[in-house]
Amino acid sequence: MSGSPHILVVASTFPAAADDQVPRFVLDQVVALRRVRPHWRFTVLAPHDARSRTIDRRVHDDFTELRFHYLRPRRWESLAGRGIMPAIRANRWQLLAVPALLWGEYRAVRRVVARERPDIVYAHWFTPQAITVAPVARRAGIPFVFTTHASDVAVWGRFGGWGRRLVARVTERATRFTAVSRTSLARMRPFFDARGWERAQARSAVIPMGVDLASAAAGAAFEADELYPGRRVVLFMGRLAEKKGVAHLLDAFATIRGEFPGATLVVAGDGPRRDELESRARALGIDDIVDFVGYRSGADKDALYRRADVCVLPSIVTEDGDAEGLPVSLLEALAYGRTVIATDASNAGEVVESGTDAVLCPAGDPHALAVALRETLSWSAERRDNMGQAARRTATAFDWPRIAEETARFLLDPHLPQPDPPPAKEDRCAS
């Protein structure tokens, strides 16, 4: 074999720095893949983001990061990075940037493929990455695979028969693909006839993103009362987008305020709904016990998870169909051994058993959230500890080395040249 296998990863969400507010699960996956396949070479292609101080090319220890432009003036390049659907909801004018992003990404993929001839192109998200990658990979004769995360396929249901044909055609061109949850995979079913879906399923697998168990298990020395002394802490960690359901969590927290005067709700994250949610907290009269701390990463994020008594994922499915795949924050909370409350729209039910390693409740129901909060905040320390131990055991299935190995074996290994076997040792006993 000459050279190292080269994987081109194409994504619309990719952080530019450790303190960037862009979700980092694609970056974490690339690093984890490099750990389990150290002889591979990775290039990541993503759009410029005016908010993230992106530059055209940056060489990291485990991969090379490339960025492409798609709009002028450059300050308008803010459609991708923090989620395309949330960006459009926050500003409908962003719809006008979608064709520019698709065309800019198509041209960038074509240039990189022509210049570097990767062994395989891996698209994160069906829309827009799989759509732009598929024709380039086909013309170049390079295998193409993709991962669907949540609503990146379902959005094409609005386009009738044309949308169904597009999804089916792009999926047929992929040699293999994965979904981060069974629910995400099931959202693809309406786009195929029976025979087409049978063929698609044969090339698919459900493989979620992972979590860094080593960091959750180790961590820095931490005094329990260093943050929010004497308080019981309810934590939400994630982007402040509509599908996260934080508005329902605020309503639920207002309901139980009088029963738990020593409780604080910490909302860790940023996003297009932040101003609206802060106004809602004031209107509910709970702004004195709700702390919007903004985006947190590294040691600050670690400290919040360790301080939390309860972590809540109040996810919903929005009116336009935007939904979760399998939130990384769920896996993180389990890895830290926290008491977790999650709605069924988070798809947590695919990985946990309610009452054993988490508590599940219906989505979009503040009353159900309030009942769950009331119950868990009333538990003894022993009961929370027992659930926390069960949560850690569940999280072991999502440790990044394990998830990366599964991803490599199913999605990438079948299409990549493998290292030459070591030469046979000389038989010293031979005469």
CA dihedral 97, 19, 57, 86 (to 10 degrees): -20
Give dist(CA 237, CA 394) in Å, integer.
19
Report the alpha-carbon angle 132-138-141, nearest 5: 135
Kindly report, residue by residue over 271-310, the tens digit of the pLDDT.
889 999 999 999 999 999 999 999 999 999 999 999 999 9
Kindly report, residue by residue over 364-395, the tens digit of the pLDDT.
999 999 999 999 999 999 999 999 999 999 99
pTM of the model: 0.92
pLDDT at position 219: 57
Kindly report, residue by residue over 122-159, the tens digit of the pLDDT.
999 999 999 999 999 999 999 999 999 988 998 899 99
- Give Dmax (Cα) for the chain: 91
Domains of the chain plus CATH, in order, are 6-210+399-415 (3.40.50.2000), 213-396 (3.40.50.2000)
Kindly report, residue by residue over 165-216, the tens digit of the pLDDT.
999 999 999 999 999 999 999 999 999 999 999 999 999 999 999 999 988 8
pLDDT at position 90: 76
Strand order in the sheet with 57-59: 57-59, 64-68, 41-47, 6-10, 120-124, 144-148, 176-179, 204-206
Nearest CA-CA partner of 43 in 68, 17, 6: 6
Q: How confident is the model at residue 82 (pLDDT cuts 50, 70, 90)?
A: confident
Report the alpha-carbon angle 29-400-53, nearest 5: 35
